[in-house]
Structure 1
Amino acid sequence: MGKPLNIGMVGCGAISTQYLATFTKDDSIRLVAVADIDPARAQAVADAHPGARAVGVGELLADPAVDVVLNLTIPAVHAEVALQAIAAGKGVYGEKPLAATLAEAKDVLAAADAAGVVVGCAPDTVLGTGIQTARKAIDDGLIGRPVSATAMMATPGHESWHPNPDFYYQPGGGPLLDMGPYYVSALVTLLGPVVSVTGTASRTRTERIIGSGAREGEVIPVAVDSHVAAMLTHADGAISTLVMSFDAVRTKAPNLEIHGERGSLVVPDPNRFDGDVELFTLGAAGWEVLPVSAGFVDAGRGAGLADLAATPPGSEPRAGGRLAYHVLEVMESVLVAAGTGRTVAIESTAARPALVPLTVPEPAVN
């Protein structure tokens, strides 16, 4: 509190560029060290960001200047890197999911509690003006008591654009664990925690073909289900329908709709920070676009780190580990339900994170 949060970033893959863009415009977070399995890639990031050093992972973890480790590794090693950071006395903020399995995620939270360090986790898109304006509309009673929601993500798969898409089709990947965190985090933010789930899933292909980059044309195996549908029952009684697909080509359905007794909301893509929120109230002549009323304006990936930096010690950040754990349990339980044909109760819970007041960024000081 009161000084920049010094970040050591582990992993310089495709997603890192979006975090780096946030670092350049937010003085509350500062990149001081970077490591990657490819040292040249880490050095390129350090060269482009004055004040950051390219180092090995061990040196980064031991660096007393690093307050929080930003874990941008692949999902299979999220827990391993997080536990190493915690053992070094560092807070950790990770890309989603919190870990590849719920058991690993439980170990991460237990270790952090024992060490007295903070855990944060993407997605932080829920902190932007899109989801937060919808959240305020619900809190203000514009749709009455929430009754249901529908969430839809349809794409033919990431191998068409990602040069190394293997992990999307291995355990810890798939459409639900890859894209589901955005949608389930948004649903929990809007409607509260989930108490039970049902689900079904399928796999249309056992192989995929990389469509771009140096490996274009290479065939990779598919070891996870690539189309998942689920029903989520929230603690307050609302029921959400969730469809996550790497098998569909396109959809015209809204990414997210929330329905209440007196109105409905079209909520923008949970994979974005902004977008229009549309309201249709009972008896109205049509949809109206709500004015932006909450959330971080012009936010990008890393907003959760900035929120963590402003969170009092001992308090849970909005994009916190407990929310990420609950979201992971929901998703893992959907896959269990799909495999067994039964309803699965959710053991964990997570409070709806506090509403983000409408917050306009201050110009960065050069």
Structure 2
Amino acid sequence: MTAPIRIGIVGVGKISGQYFATIARLPILQLTAVADLNAGLAAEVAAEQGVRNLSVEELINDSDVDLVLNLTIPAAHAEVAMQAIAAGKHVYGEKPLAATFADGVKIIDAARAAGVRVGSAPDTVLGTGTQTARKAVDDGLIGTPISAVATMVTPGHERWHPNPDFYYQPGGGPLLDMGPYYISSLITMLGPVAKVIGAASHQRDTRTIGSGPRAGETIPVTVDTHVTGVLVHESGVLSTLIMSFDAAATKASNIEVHGSDATLISPDPNQFGGDALIHPVGGEWSVLPVSAGYRDAGRGYGIADLAATPDGSQQRASGDLGLHVLDVMLSLLQSAEQGTAVDVTTTIERPAPVPLGDAPGGVLPG
């Protein structure tokens, strides 16, 4: 790919600010245009960023856009991605890759046919937190991996998000919203998943918005808001997953990985950094020195990694990984509904490890 890669962003809601910050400090990335169905917001953001404000159709077909960064709501991920691929653009999207497995497959198949790349959040797994933990596993510091526990508990995003409707619609819920961080991290450390066993519930049929101009408004809940289950990795490791929008809090937002020789704590996978801890048999907890990953990374490093990956090689936050994660999550929900174990139909190679460094492409943050 030529550098810098020119980016057009579709959807300039709350998460976009973190991408703007990363794009501004990585020379391998260049923002050229933005689009949003909220014309007033798009105009305001375009002026702030000093770029063009286009319609979605104009942006997708613009000759100065190499990659479409898709920050729309999950229900629109597939539609925007397919339009961008049809226009010959590379695509990087927020998680999940799509709201349905069929749509996820269509995206990957269309991209292969068009000769363009697809990347998918989360790229938090590229930071020093998860990568240092992965290196500990790869270096044999925990012995043979046996099991892992990943927990995310919150009372719900409606308490802080001014427009939380999509969190409680198909494509949302705690698993599809937060699960990609945890499952991507588990796959990065322990490899792909072969089978899942799940259970799910929801406690309330409505939620009340807690902030912003819609504060006090009630919205419907149409998805399960507490999901738990076991992921059976191809290696035989068993990962227990708990994802909830129904409870107050947890002190266990990290991931514990248990091995024959030691237990490892990988830091919160919703963050890029954090301390990885290890407790050997007969020893005590200690902090592992940072040994892998992009330092001081932020959202958008997955795009830079995509741009820096040579032709013929697979970037790390890839669409294939996003599809496998989506397959795992939807299989878990299917298992919960059916009350039986469900085989995961996709598989992948573990993404390549990230050597300790400053940024993709060998460039330093500005």
When normalised by structure 2's length, the TM-score is 0.98
1:316 aligns with 2:314: yes
Deviations 1:208-247 (A, max 9, x none): 0000000000000000000000100001110000000000
Deviates more, 1:197-206 or 1:251-260: 251-260
Matches within 5 A, 1:37-56: 37-50=37-50, 52-56=51-55
Whichever residue aligns with residue 120 of structure 2, its letter is C
Matches within 5 A, 1:55-204: 55-204=54-203
The 1:255/1:77 distance shift into structure 2, 3 A limit, reads same
Distance of 2:124 and 2:326 partners within structure 1: 17
Q: Any idea what SS the aligned residue of 2:197 has?
A: strand
Q: Any idea what SS the aligned residue of 1:65 has?
A: coil
Distance of 1:227 and 1:202 partners within structure 2: 5
* Unaligned ranges ≥5, structure 2: none
Q: How many equivalent pairs are there?
A: 363
Deviations 1:79-135 (A, max 9, x none): 000000000000100000000000110111111111010000000000000000000
Q: Any idea what SS the aligned residue of 1:196 has?
A: strand
Distance of 1:113 and 1:253 partners within structure 2: 39
Q: CA offset at residue 253 of structure 1?
A: 2.3
Deviations 1:52-84 (A, max 9, x none): 211111111111111110000000010000000
* Unaligned ranges ≥5, structure 1: none
**Structure 2 counterpart of 1:347:** 345
1:275 aligns with 2:274: yes
When normalised by structure 1's length, the TM-score is 0.98
Deviates more, 1:96-105 or 1:58-67: 58-67
**Structure 1 counterpart of 2:291:** 293
Q: Any idea what SS the aligned residue of 1:164 has?
A: coil
The 1:247/1:314 distance shift into structure 2, 3 A limit, reads same
Do the aligned residues in 2 keep the contact of 1:254 with 1:266 (CA within 8 Å)?
no
Distance of 1:177 and 1:27 partners within structure 2: 32
Do the aligned residues in 2 keep the contact of 1:133 with 1:295 (CA within 8 Å)?
yes
**Structure 2 counterpart of 1:328:** 326
Q: CA offset at residue 314 of structure 1?
A: 3.4
Cα-Cα RMSD? 1.0
Distance of 1:247 and 1:364 partners within structure 2: 39
Work out the percentage of aligned pairs sharing the same amino acid: 60
Matches within 5 A, 1:12-31: 12-31=12-31
1:338 aligns with 2:336: yes
Whichever residue aligns with residue 81 of structure 1, its letter is V
Do the aligned residues in 2 keep the contact of 1:254 with 1:267 (CA within 8 Å)?
no
Distance of 1:146 and 1:294 partners within structure 2: 19
Q: Any idea what SS the aligned residue of 2:25 has?
A: coil
**Structure 2 counterpart of 1:3:** 3
Q: CA offset at residue 254 of structure 1?
A: 4.4
Distance of 1:301 and 1:57 partners within structure 2: 22
Do the aligned residues in 1 keep the contact of 2:358 with 2:365 (CA within 8 Å)?
no
Distance of 1:85 and 1:244 partners within structure 2: 32
**Structure 2 counterpart of 1:223:** 222
Matches within 5 A, 1:228-243: 228-243=227-242
Distance of 1:55 and 1:247 partners within structure 2: 39
The 1:126/1:364 distance shift into structure 2, 3 A limit, reads closer
